[in-house]
Amino acid sequence: MRGFAHINTWIFDLDNTLYPASCRLFDQMHVRMSDFIRDTFNVDETEALRRRRDYYLRYGTTLRGLMVEHSMQPAAFLDYVHDIDYSNVPRLEELNIALAKLPGRKLVFTNGTISHAKRVMNRLGVSDHFEAVFDIVDSDYIPKPDRTPYDKFQTLHDVDGTRSAFFEDIAQNLEAPHDMGMTTVLITSESQTAQPEPDARQHEYVHHTTNNLVEFLKGVTP
């Protein structure tokens, strides 16, 4: 099991990782994605939902599917999808304190946009802790878990994988960080038991699992 004493770079996914899944921002975004597909292609809600899920499963994000299959320009989609109500995101003073105690750099690596990330971090009250946000635009619209954006992120931000920890709520998105030498942490939802999903291969690249980010961070700092 990889520890944290050597870590000087802390990398966090954003959605359902830095803020709790109970905020339900993704529920809003899923509705917005389906509505965008419905209105763009003049299909009913059932077909829009089917396409959204199909693109996500085959391409990693709905946006990537729209770009590949329909040459969709991403800006309009991203602006529409992230036009949501952020009032459910609370200020988390305990998270602010826990992040302040982590030694070294903090970065966000998200399949969302930098504007979305900034709105969330401002609501949480943690923006000052983060050196940079690497978003889907920086990724050239290639989403995690594809290895390409991880390599670009590592080069752009001069990240030493062997001294980095990566926090993420989707297990498969931790495979590349593991292969890059990072210590990996899977964030489950608050209602889940803090145990890895029953996938034998996953145990190779998920080093730690928790359903409470703040309490976990408290445990890795003095």
Written as six digits, the tokens of 152 are 């670009």
Q: Angle at the Cα of 175 (from 218 to 7), degrees rounded to 5?
A: 35
Output the pTM of the full model. Answer: 0.91
Of how many residues is the chain composed? Answer: 222
Q: Report mean pLDDT in 10-residue bins for the chain, 222 residues.
A: 88 96 93 97 96 94 95 95 96 96 97 96 97 97 96 97 96 96 90 44 84 94 70
pLDDT given for residue 221 in this prediction: 76
Which candidate, 142, 136, 209, 137, places its Cα nearest to that of 174? 209
pLDDT given for residue 199 in this prediction: 54
What is the H or E stretch that residue 63 is in? helix 62-70
pLDDT tens digit sequence for 59-68: 989 999 999 9
- Tell the burial category of 114 from Cβ atoms under 10 Å away from its Cβ (0-12, 13-18, 19+): middle
Query: String of b and e for 30-43 (b: at least 16 CB within 10 Å)?
Result: bebbbebbbeeeee
CA dihedral over 24, 27, 32, 33, signed as positive or negative: positive
What count of other Cβ atoms lies within 10 Å of the Cβ of residue 147? 13
Q: Which fold has domain 25-81?
A: DNA polymerase; domain 1 (1.10.150)
Structural domain boundaries in the chain: 9-19+90-219, 25-81
pLDDT given for residue 1 in this prediction: 59
Domain spanning 9-19+90-219: CATH 3.20.20.140: no
pLDDT given for residue 169 in this prediction: 95
pLDDT given for residue 181 in this prediction: 96
- Tell me the β-bridge partners of 10: 106, 165
pLDDT given for residue 122 in this prediction: 97
pLDDT tens digit sequence for 182-207: 999 999 976 443 334 445 456 789 99
